Amino acid sequence: MKRLKGDTFSDRQEAAATAKQALLERFKARPSADDPAVIAQREARKAAAEAREVRAAERKAAKLEAQKREAEELAAREAAEREAEAARIEQEAAEKLRMASEQKAARDARYAARKQRKK
C-alpha cells in the first residue's frame, strides 16, 4: 500500500496550527462593539424587539377584550335562560292552580248534584 500524505505526526501538527491560525484571523476580522455597523444592527434588533412587545401587548389586550365580551354574552344568555325558566315555572304553577280549581269546581258540582238527588 502506498503511504498517504498527511499521515505523519508533523503533518497533523501543522494542520492543527493552520486551523488555529485561521480561527484567530476570523476572530480578529470581526467588527468591534463600537463599530457603527454593529451599533446600527443592535439598534435594529432593539427596535424589532420593542415592536414585537407592542404587537404582543395589542394581541393580549384584544384577547382580554374578546374574553370580556364572551363573558358578558354568557352572563346575558344565562340571565335570559333563568328568566325563561322562572316564567316557565310560574306558568306551570298557574296551570296547576287552574287545574286544581277546575277539579274542585267539578267535585263541588258532583257533590251538589248528589245532594240534589238525595232530596
pLDDT digit string (tens) for the chain, length 119 residues: 455 665 788 888 999 999 999 999 888 877 777 888 889 999 999 999 999 999 999 999 999 999 999 999 999 999 999 999 999 999 999 999 999 999 999 999 999 998 898 87
Q: What is the pLDDT of residue 103?
A: 95
Residue 73 belongs to some domain of the structure = yes
Phi-psi region of 61 (alpha: psi -120 to 50; beta: other; left: phi over 0): alpha
- The contacts of residue 61 (CB under 8 Å, 6+ apart) are none
- Does the global pTM surpass 0.75? no
Q: What is the pLDDT of residue 31?
A: 75
Residue span of the structural domain in which 57 resides: 9-118
Q: What is the pLDDT of residue 42?
A: 92
- The contacts of residue 31 (CB under 8 Å, 6+ apart) are 37, 38
For the chain, the domain total comes to: 1
Residue 1 belongs to some domain of the structure = no
Q: What is the pLDDT of residue 68?
A: 97
Q: What is the pLDDT of residue 11?
A: 87
Q: With CA atoms as reference, report the closest residue to 54 among 43, 62, 44.
A: 62
- The contacts of residue 11 (CB under 8 Å, 6+ apart) are 5
The span from the CA of 43 to the CA of 37, in Å, is: 10
Residue 4 belongs to some domain of the structure = no
Residue 50 belongs to some domain of the structure = yes
Which residue, chain included where needed, has cell 434588533?
45
Q: What is the pLDDT of residue 4?
A: 62
Q: What is the pLDDT of residue 1?
A: 43
Contact yes or no for 81/89 (Cβ under 8 A): no
- The contacts of residue 38 (CB under 8 Å, 6+ apart) are 31, 32
**DSSP label at 111?**
H
Residue 16 belongs to some domain of the structure = yes
Residue 77 belongs to some domain of the structure = yes
